[in-house]
């Protein structure tokens, strides 16, 4: 513990007065600038609390190894063949699962009181959430990189080449960004960070497993195959697989971009309404 | 004990020209069935240090949150420097700063990063933000801990950082919600110094406190709030005047002289004299303070040696009790409004 100096005045009155006098009121920052500043805050939090990256680093390694070697032989005849099918799916699942933390972090800000300060600042109000999502996008990119590197080491060979892989990661990050507005809404509706994590996980687990991440929907009972066909995660995985294997599916990508726009159009206003009126 | 201290009387908001810093009428806010703010009217002049005094749950924080644009009132209106807190909330936010009840800084970041963050959000360039953060850390005695995460700070350091974050751009009005709750006496004095400096540089201060002593020390004017209502308003002196003129406390050299001193005092003052457990002490509630000098002269004439005497105003604790019918510490549901 650093003990302040033993003089009776830690507060240097002169310094305080000159600091007050030196204050100026600069021009209000643009919406983008404010959002980027909040994004910088998210980066600083990663720097100071690297443990929070455990999910972004641990999950992809665990899932890729587990599913490839545990199920690969049974599902596709060989682990090598399965990896080729599984890896784009695992990439999607990893990133989609860690979107849940967006809501958790927002809820933590509110329960700690720092959100009150941000809300009382004269800045573009969505910037605090948009900025946090920029920070999350960095985590998604990191998680994607880890999955892809591990995949390459294990023998995954994307035929779509570097460009296909980059585009697929970009698509994934954009989708995750859009999906996160659901979790920010929940983060403002629910009482504690734990309940936010619990509810979003309860939604995300069925959503990612009841998809084409692990197996071809053809192998499922008809009712499930139909349901899986409607799951947006299925569309996302199909598009990512396509980009990675040289078969760019314009229709699928177009569908996804519309879905992203719809997610933002519905959940961003609800989130902002709740944020403005949070008691 | 806050006896024998003369305060300069607060400026009356209505007596001054110009736009009030805060002007509110009939503010009401409920959380479900619980009416937290129940018809609050306020008029606070620019440059004042204004205190909200009341127990936990009285509605102080909710009122501040309405004025800081964080809550929309269910009914009533409030203007900050003439700007409506609902319709012109952006204009209000650019003139006020809020220091919440729980330190509203990011605990994961360092003190310096917190200040840079706020400076950047207020439009400072990267370089200016660093310079500004440095100035504030220096002014608040936090330079040594600037690069440590806030979660390692003591309560006092955290509170200072919190206030520093509120004055990155010197606000016209600062809300301080229980700025000294949980602080040790030295840190509390630091915060008091800061509040006084802010006011002397022209910032209007609205602070809430549960501590009567704090309101007394700092505020020009005080609103006593209980169950969502302002039950009394005035300068500390005016509030104390509601209870009685004052209390005379006398200490004698010789405990055996006490009975005689008691007789002499009660005769000259015309009131009953109390004899506390301290064997040399005497205490009298005085209705006519001008008789006090006669009473002391009488003691000296009778040859009774006095080691110490003080004529003080009643404490704000007594004021609170008299106004609400219940002491500040306890939360009673049934409340009798008996104004003394």
DSSP chain A: -PPPPSSS-SS-HHHHHHHHHH---PPPPPHHHHHHHHHHHHHHHHHH-GGGGHHHHHHHHHHHHHHHHHHHHHHHSSHHHHHHHHHHHHHHHHHHHHTHHHHHHHHHHHHHTHHHHHHTSSS-TTHHHHHHHHHHHHHHHHHHHHHHHHHHHHT---TTHHHHHHHHHHHHHHHHHHHHHHHHHHHHHSSSHHHHHHHHHHHHHHHHHSSSSSS-GGGS-HHHHHHHHH-HHHHHHHHHHHHHTT---HHHHHHHHHHHHHHHHHHHHHHHHHHHT--
Can you give the pLDDT at residue B328? 55
Q: Stretch A116-141: mean pLDDT, rounded?
A: 90
Can you give the pLDDT at residue A188? 93
Can you give the pLDDT at residue B14? 40
Inter-chain residue contact B201 with A21, CB threshold 8 Å:
yes
d(CA B79, CA A182): 35
User: Residue A172's pLDDT band (boundaries 50, 70, 90)?
Assistant: very high
User: Residue B219's pLDDT band (boundaries 50, 70, 90)?
Assistant: very high
3-state secondary structure of B295: helix
Local structure of residue B256 (DSSP, 8 states): G
pLDDT in tens, B63-96: 999 999 999 999 999 999 999 999 999 899 999 9
User: Residue B15's pLDDT band (boundaries 50, 70, 90)?
Assistant: very low
B104 and chain A: CB distance < 8 Å anywhere? yes
Can you give the pLDDT at residue B2? 39
CATH of B246-312, one of 3.30.70.100, 3.40.50.300, 3.40.50.620, 3.20.20.70: 3.30.70.100
User: Residue B241's pLDDT band (boundaries 50, 70, 90)?
Assistant: confident
**CB contact at 8 A, A215 and A75:** yes
pLDDT > 70 in chain A, percent: 96
Mutating which of A7, A9, A20, A119 best tests the B interface, going by the most B Cβ atoms within 10 A?
Answer: A20
Q: Which of B164-178, B207-221, B304-318 has the highest mean pLDDT?
A: B164-178
pLDDT in tens, B261-272: 999 988 888 888
Q: Stretch A182-209: mean pLDDT, rounded?
A: 92
Segment 164-203 of chain B within 8 Å of chain A by CB: 165-170, 190, 193-194, 197-198, 200-201, 203
Can you give the pLDDT at residue B12? 39
pLDDT > 90 in chain A, percent: 45
d(CA A147, CA B114): 34
Q: Stretch A229-252: mean pLDDT, rounded?
A: 89
> For residue B207, is pLDDT > 50?
yes
Shortest Cα–Cα distance, B153 to chain A (Å): 9
Shortest Cα–Cα distance, A43 to chain B (Å): 10
The interface predicted TM-score of the complex, written ipTM, equals: 0.85
The class of domain B13-241 in CATH terms is: alpha beta
Q: How many residues belong to chain A? A: 279
User: Residue B186's pLDDT band (boundaries 50, 70, 90)?
Assistant: confident
pTM above 0.90, yes or no: no
Can you give the pLDDT at residue B316? 64
Q: Give the closest of B94, B121, B190 to A11, CB-based.
A: B190
Domain boundaries, chain B: 13-241, 246-312
Q: Stretch A96-112: mean pLDDT, rounded?
A: 88
For residue A110, the chain B residue with the least C-alpha distance is B104
Inter-chain residue contact B141 with A26, CB threshold 8 Å:
no
Shortest Cα–Cα distance, A48 to chain B (Å): 6
> For residue A257, is pLDDT > 80?
yes
The pLDDT mean for chain A works out to 87
């Amino acid at each position: 513990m650093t003990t302040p100096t033993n003089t009776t005045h830690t507060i240097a009155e002169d310094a305080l007065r000159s600091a007050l006098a030196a204050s100026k009121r600069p021009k209000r920052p643009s919406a983008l600038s404010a959002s980027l500043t909040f994004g910088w805050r998210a980066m600083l939090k990663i720097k100071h609390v690297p443990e929070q990256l455990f999910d972004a680093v641990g999950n992809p390694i665990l899932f890729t190894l587990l599913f490839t070697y545990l199920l690969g032989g049974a599902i596709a005849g060989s682990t090598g063949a399965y990896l080729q099918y599984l890896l784009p799916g695992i990439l999607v699942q990893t990133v989609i699962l860690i979107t849940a933390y967006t809501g958790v972090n927002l809820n933590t800000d509110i329960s700690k009181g720092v959100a009150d300060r941000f809300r009382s600042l004269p800045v573009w109000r969505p910037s605090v959430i948009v900025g946090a999502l920029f920070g999350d996008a960095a985590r998604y990119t990191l998680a994607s990189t880890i999955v892809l590197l591990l995949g390459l080491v294990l023998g995954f060979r994307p035929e779509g080449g570097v460009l296909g892989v980059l585009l697929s990661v970009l698509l994934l990050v954009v989708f995750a960004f859009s999906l996160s507005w659901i979790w920010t809404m929940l983060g403002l509706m629910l009482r504690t960070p734990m309940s936010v994590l619990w509810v979003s996980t309860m939604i995300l687990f069925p959503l990612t497993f009841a998809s084409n991440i692990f197996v071809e929907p053809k192998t499922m009972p008809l009712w499930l195959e139909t349901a899986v066909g409607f799951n947006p995660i299925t569309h996302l995985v199909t598009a990512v697989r396509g980009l990675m294997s040289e078969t760019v599916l314009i229709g699928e990508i177009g569908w996804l971009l519309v879905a992203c726009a719809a997610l933002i159009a519905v959940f961003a206003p609800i989130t902002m309404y709740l944020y403005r009126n949070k008691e | 004990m806050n006896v024998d201290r003369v305060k300069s009387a607060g400026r009356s908001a209505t007596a001054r020209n110009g736009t009030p810093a805060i002007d509110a009428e009939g503010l009401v806010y409920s959380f479900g069935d619980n009416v937290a703010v129940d018809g609050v009217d306020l008029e606070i002049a620019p440059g004042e240090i204004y205190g909200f005094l009341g127990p936990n749950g009285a509605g102080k924080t909710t009122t501040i949150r309405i004025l800081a644009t964080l809550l929309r009132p269910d009914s009533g209106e409030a203007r900050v420097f003439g700007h409506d807190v609902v319709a012109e909330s952006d204009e209000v936010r650019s003139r006020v700063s809020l220091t919440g009840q729980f330190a509203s800084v990011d605990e994961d970041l360092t003190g310096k990063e917190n200040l840079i963050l706020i400076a950047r959000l207020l439009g400072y360039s990267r370089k200016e933000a660093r310079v500004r953060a440095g100035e504030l850390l220096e002014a608040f005695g936090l330079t040594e801990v600037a690069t440590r995460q806030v979660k390692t700070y003591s309560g006092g350091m955290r509170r200072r950082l919190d206030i520093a974050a509120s004055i990155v751009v010197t606000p016209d009005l600062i809300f301080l919600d229980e700025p000294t709750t949980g602080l040790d006496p030295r840190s509390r004095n630091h915060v008091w110094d800061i509040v006084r400096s802010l006011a002397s540089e022209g910032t209007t201060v609205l602070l809430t406190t549960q501590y009567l002593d704090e309101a007394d020390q700092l505020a020009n004017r005080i609103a006593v709030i209980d169950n969502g209502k302002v039950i009394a308003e005035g300068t500390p002196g005016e509030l104390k005047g509601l209870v009685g003129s004052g209390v005379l406390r006398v200490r004698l050299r010789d405990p055996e002289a006490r009975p005689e001193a008691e007789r002499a005092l009660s005769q000259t003052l015309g009131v009953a004299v109390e004899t506390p457990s301290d064997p040399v002490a005497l205490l009298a509630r005085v209705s006519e303070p001008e008789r006090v000098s006669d009473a002391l002269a009488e003691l000296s004439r009778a040859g009774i040696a006095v080691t110490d005497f003080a004529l003080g105003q009643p404490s704000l604790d007594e004021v609170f009790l008299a106004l609400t019918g219940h002491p500040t510490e306890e939360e009673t549901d049934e409340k009798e409004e008996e104004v003394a």
